[in-house]
């Protein structure tokens, strides 16, 4: 009987979780772990991201087989007290820019099911970060410490690796990667760079789709931006290695791969303190700009971000580049997928052994 059932084929179009589950299955295969993606009957346990078919989970419960749920962050609402979809919640979503209005109803309905599995089926919950855990606890109730573990994501070090010899040239190169879906993710960074441009010459490589018309218009107005568009993973890795400093911009991310790819590429990273950034970059808090207070300690929006605060960190990264580059190189192997995958294997085996 296989160690674990990973329903890889059931998760094809959910972005980061899809990529992760495929990478994890691939790592299990390379590591000789006996797993299955097809036959849920032929496994000692099940591991899935976010949510899964409760009819199958009921079978696992009846047979006393461990159920492992991997969770991203969730919307900042006390789902265990949720009594209906009301005007107050809709107003909250609009005001705080957590999710776009087109996704509101689907997100809320999905959360019902996620919370149901979390509360009633999961024997072990794997959170991507401490931030992710806190967000879920705030929204769906805490669980006992023996019912969860925290495993940061990992990236492939054979693709993302640093150039050890790198000097800061006459035209420093900042780089940003990701899907730029919302103006309050990118515009505060551009405002900070506008301030920096008054004192320094530089360029910004922008890699990834611009999915917001306001973002696209603002980006086109800056002559220091070199827009590269969407790229393959290998192309992104090459662009990171040829850059000097990474700027991270994604609101409330639980454990963003883009950030870990920059770490693995040995780049100094400048960011606001939102999401799991400070947790993942605990080795270099100097380059993380403080954010303005929020009514919810876990959630930030564009109105909490100061361009002046980020500009100071960008300037610091330029003035002390050698120091921060050396520090980045020391920590470039912190988030390898090998470390991540081995922790998953260990967690699964430990849970199964406790059920025998």
| Nearest-angstrom CA–CA distance, 208 and 229 | 5
Is it the case that residue 220 has pLDDT exceeding 60?
yes
pLDDT digits (tens, 9 = 90+) for 3-18: 999 998 777 666 678 8
Mean pLDDT across the chain, nearest whole number?
Answer: 88
Looking up tokens 């050396």 gives: 326
* First-residue to last-residue Cα distance in the chain: 14
Q: Using 50, 70 and 90 to split pLDDT, how confident is the model at 77?
A: low
The pLDDT assigned to 130 comes to 95
Q: Report residue 322: phi and psi, to 5°.
A: -60, -45
For residue 91, the model assigns a pLDDT of 45
Q: Which two tokens stand for residue 153?
A: 């994501």
Residue with tokens 């040239």: 169
The span from the CA of 189 to the CA of 177, in Å, is 13
Q: 204: which strand partners?
A: 174, 225
Q: Which residue has the higher pLDDT, 321 or 302?
A: 321
How many CB atoms sit inside 10 A of residue 97's CB? Answer: 18
Q: CA-CA distances (angstroms) from residue 42 to 5, 38, 188?
A: 8, 9, 51
Query: Which is more confidently placed, 218 or 161?
Result: 161
pLDDT band at residue 72 using 50, 70 and 90 as cut-offs: confident
Select from 305, 70, 112, 271 the least CA-distant residue to 177.
Answer: 271
CA distance 263 to 285: 13
pLDDT at 80 exceeding the cut of 80: no
- Intervals of CATH 3.40.50.2000 along the chain: 4-154+337-355, 173-330
Residues contacting 323, CB < 8 A, separation 6+: none
- Rounded distance between C-alpha atoms, residue 83 and residue 101, angstroms: 20
Confidence band, pLDDT 50/70/90 cuts, at residue 356: very low
Quote the CATH superfamily of domain 173-330: Glycogen Phosphorylase B; (3.40.50.2000)
Token pair 């024997």 in the structure block, residue: 123
**H helix intervals, 121-212:** 130-140, 183-196
Percent over 70 (pLDDT), the chain: 88
Q: Is the pLDDT of residue 98 over 90?
A: no
pLDDT band at 84 (very low <50, low <70, confident <90, very high): very low
Verdict on whether the full-model pTM lies above 0.85: yes
- Which of 76-80, 138-142, 214-218 is predicted with the least confidence, judged by mean pLDDT? 76-80
The CATH code that applies to domain 4-154+337-355 is: 3.40.50.2000
Instruction: Give the model's pLDDT for residue 90.
Output: 44
């Amino acid at each position: 009987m296989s160690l674990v059932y990973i329903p890889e084929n059931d998760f094809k179009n959910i972005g980061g979780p899809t990529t992760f589950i495929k990478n994890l299955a691939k790592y299990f295969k390379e590591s000789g772990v006996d797993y299955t993606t097809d036959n849920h009957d032929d496994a000692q346990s099940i591991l899935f991201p976010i949510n899964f078919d409760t009819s199958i989970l009921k079978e696992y419960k009846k047979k006393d087989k461990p159920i492992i749920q991997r969770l991203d962050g969730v919307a900042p609402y006390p789902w265990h007290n949720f009594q209906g979809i009301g005007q107050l919640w809709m107003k909250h979503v609009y005001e705080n820019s957590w999710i776009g209005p087109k996704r509101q109803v689907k997100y809320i309905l999905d959360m019902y099911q996620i919370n149901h599995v979390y509360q009633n089926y999961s024997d072990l919950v794997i959170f991507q970060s401490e931030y992710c855990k806190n967000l879920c606890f705030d929204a769906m109730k805490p669980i006992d410490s023996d019912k969860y573990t925290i495993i940061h994501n990992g990236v492939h070090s054979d693709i993302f690796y640093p150039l050890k010899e790198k000097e800061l040239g006459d035209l420093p190169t900042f780089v940003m990667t990701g899907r730029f879906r919302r103006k309050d993710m990118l515009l505060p960074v551009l405002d900070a760079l506008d301030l920096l441009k008054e004192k320094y010459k530089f360029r910004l490589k922008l890699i990834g789709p611009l999915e917001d018309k306001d973002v696209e218009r603002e980006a086109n107005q800056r002559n220091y931006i070199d827009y590269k568009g969407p790229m393959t993973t290998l192309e992104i890795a090459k662009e990171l290695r040829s850059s000097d400093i990474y700027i991270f911009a994604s609101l409330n991310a639980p454990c963003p791969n883009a950030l870990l790819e920059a770490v693995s590429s040995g780049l100094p990273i400048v960011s606001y303190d939102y999401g799991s950034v400070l947790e993942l970059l605990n080795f270099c808090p100097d380059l993380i700009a403080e954010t303005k207070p929020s009514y919810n300690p876990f959630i930030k929006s564009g109105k909490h971000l100061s361009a002046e605060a980020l500009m100071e960190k960008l300037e610091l990264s330029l003035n002390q580049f050698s120091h921060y580059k050396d520090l980045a190189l020391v920590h470039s192997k912190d988030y390898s997928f090998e470390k991540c995958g081995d922790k998953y294997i260990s967690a699964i085996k430990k849970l199964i052994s406790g059920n025998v």
